[in-house]
Every structure is written in C-alpha cells, then in structure tokens.
Amino acid sequence: MVYPRVSLYALMLAAAGIPLYIHLPRFASVNLGIGLGVIGVILLVIRLVDLVQDPLLGWAIDRWPKAQSFFAMLAAAGLAVGFPVLFSLEPGGAVVARLVVVLVLLFSAYSLGMILLYGRSATLAYSPREQDLMTLAAFREGGMLAGVVIAAIAPAAFVAFGAGGQGYPVFGCFLGFVAATVALLSFPVWQRKPVLGEGLSLSGLAGAGALRLLLLALVNSLPVAVTSTLFLFFVEDRLQLPGKGGPLLILFFLCAGVSVPLWTGLSRRVGTKMTLVISMPLAILGFIGAAFLAPGNLIGFALICVASGAALGADMVVLPAMFSVVLTRAGLSASAAFGIWSFAGKLGLALAAFAVLPLLEQSGFQPGQINSDAALTTLNIAYAIVPCILKLCAFALVLALPTKERIQ
C-alpha cells in the first residue's frame, strides 16, 4: 500500500498546484479586480521568498528526518486552511495584502509537501535501484495527474450545480477537504525509516551531474510556466471558446496521465535522455500549431492539447527520476537538493508571470473583454511563440546531456 498512498499525497499536491498556477491569474484579475501587472509582481515577490525558503525547507527535512510525518501533515494542514481562505477573498479592503499573505501560506505548504515527496524518493521506493525509483516516479506522477484532472474539472462542475463566484468559493472548500482527507489516508507512508545521504555541496552536485539537470529543470519549466499562466486567457479570449477551458485542461492532463506508463517503459528501453529527445519535439510542434489556430478552432486546439499533454507526461516522470538517480548514485541528501529543484521550477513560473502579464497589460489586453487585434497578437506570441523558443533551448540542453545506460 506504499505506492498508492504516495499517489494520494501527490494527488493532493497536484490539485493544489492547478489553482495556484492556472486559476490564480484569472481569479485575481476578474474576481478581485487586480491588474495583471500587479499579479506578476506578486508572484515574483513570492518567488523571492522561495529563494530562501525552499532550500531551507529541504535542509530542515534532512536535518530532522524523524519529523518527516510532522512535515507531511504540516504541509497538508497549510493547504487545508489556505484554499478556503484564498477563494473567499473579495475585492477592496487591502485585497492585495490579504492575497499576498494567503499565497505565502499556500506556496509554503505546497513547497514543503513537494520537497518532502520528491526528496524522499529513496525512502518511499521499495529499493534505491533505478528501476524502483522509476516505478515510484510513475505512481507519483500518476497521482499528480489525477489531482490535476480533478482540480481542472471541479470549478466548472460546481458552477453546473449552481455555485456562485465562478465556482471558486466552493472549490476552495473542496480543496481544503481533499487536503485533510489525504493527510489521514497517507499518514502511514511517512512512518517509513528515512534513507539519508551525505550533506550537499556545490562540488558534490556538480560531480554528480545534478547542476546540469537543475539548469535543464529551470529552462524546461519556463515554457510550461508561460502556457499555464496564459492558458485560460488563450482559450477564452484568443480562441474565443468560452467555457471550454476546463474540458481542454482535462484533455491535456488526461493525455499526460495516459502517457506516463508509456514514457516509463520507453525510458527502460532507450534511456532517459533519448526519451526526452523523442518527447520534446511533440511540445514544440504543439506550440507552433497553437500560433496559427483561427478563433473558434476547438478541434485543432484539442489535438494540440493531446500532443503537448503527452509531451508533459515525459517531463513529469523522467526529469525528477533522473535527478533522483544522480543523487542516489552520489549518496547525496535528496531533500535539500529537491528544495533547490522546487525553487528552480517555481522561479520559472515567477519569471513567466513577471514577463508576460505586464506585457499583456501594456498591449491593452483585458481578460473577458473585447480586445484589439494588437492585444490578441501579443497574447498569441506570448502563449505560443515564446514558449516554443524556450522549449528549443531546453531541447538543446537535453541533447548536450551525456548518454546513460538504459534502466534495467
């Protein structure tokens, strides 16, 4: 029952990540009346907190290994409290300050849970062998993708049942309930004896090849961060497909989930590097295709969601597993290293939001309103062209990786 419980905890974190990464910009701009430029600054400021916080959280997990169950429950508690508060916020009355406080709580809890989940790979796997680490990664990412699908469909489902506020207040309470329930069900898995490694150093990370993977993680997170931030804007304003954002998100992540066992099996046959060499062009083609879609082209964008979702499945399962493998081989402490890994991913989100949201605002783009051709062209470039260029950079870094033997 270890791996199913790992999947449950991953489900909770992924369900928390979707509103933070995808719903937040639209909720804050439409429901709270906060400008896109201000939202970009808020996300950057929170990333500055993470700059110090995430490595410290990883260090604390390694420093007090017997407290891993406490850390796991603390992360769940932060999510259980934070989401009902977040989606009950209303405009006015220093709403920006209140939003920042709630987001710091939520991102801190999210970071703690993610660092613990990924940093304890050697503990949660049946053995530290590469094959078992990949199997753990498949269960973990399968749970992640299930959580993503649930979080993507929930707001629209609540609206269909009559919930107000675009379904967000009920959505917040639902996420709080999920966090509390998963905390109870997954508690036994955190009672396993932790497998610890040596302390981290820059030379140790470099010698293990981990620094190269950290750079790849940062660059590869940028295109996903940009498209995640702009997804609902692109679907509803650029493609003029109101109400289709939720179903398309579900399709995207379902394809990612279905692809996980396929990429896991492929990595065992051809190696992790070649798996990424095969998967990344799918994402690049998806970005190119999105740039040329006409308004109202639901089928075309659905096909793009299929291809890019499948490509995301490879990123989610292969890259963290590669990082776990090099840390395990070198006998390094994984939690502190994944604290840095977590920060690299979230820095990508902040850089994306800080760069593209003010740019959209300057172009005159307004979510949910009639926009000029220039504003929609800016949105098109930001959503499709910029991520394509960034993904090409990540692809170049993958090609430069040393070729490893296949996982047996």
What's the pLDDT tens digit per position in 102-161? Answer: 999 998 999 899 888 887 777 777 766 667 777 787 788 788 878 877 887 788 788 888
Instruction: Check residue 378 and give its pLDDT.
Output: 92
Has residue 408 got a pLDDT over 50?
no
Q: Which of 98-102, 249-253, 321-325, 373-377 is predicted least confidently? A: 321-325
Rounded distance between C-alpha atoms, residue 193 and residue 202, angstroms: 27
**Residue 401 per-residue DSSP state:** S
Rg of the Cα trace of the chain? Answer: 20
Token pair 């809890």 in the structure block, residue: 109
Q: How confident is the model at residue 56 (pLDDT cuts 50, 70, 90)?
A: confident
Instruction: Check residue 213 and give its pLDDT.
Output: 83
Domains observed in the chain = 2-399 (1.20.1250.20)
Instruction: Identify the CA nearest to 145 among candidates 243, 58, 262.
Output: 262
Structure tokens at 49: 């907190």
Label residues 170-206 b or e (16+ Cβ within 10 Å = b).
bbbebbbebbeebbeebeebbeeebbebeebeeebbe
User: CB–CB of 28/34 below 8 Å?
Assistant: yes
CB atoms within 10 A of CB 299: 9
Give the pLDDT confidence of 232-280 residue by residue, as tens digits: 889 988 999 988 887 888 888 888 878 888 888 888 888 888 999 999 9
Q: What is the pTM of this model?
A: 0.71
Instruction: Check residue 38 and give its pLDDT.
Output: 86
Separate counts of helices (H) and strands (E) for the chain: 16, 0
Give the pLDDT confidence of 343-371 residue by residue, as tens digits: 777 677 677 777 888 888 888 988 878 88
35 burial (CB, 10 Å; 0-12 / 13-18 / 19+) is middle
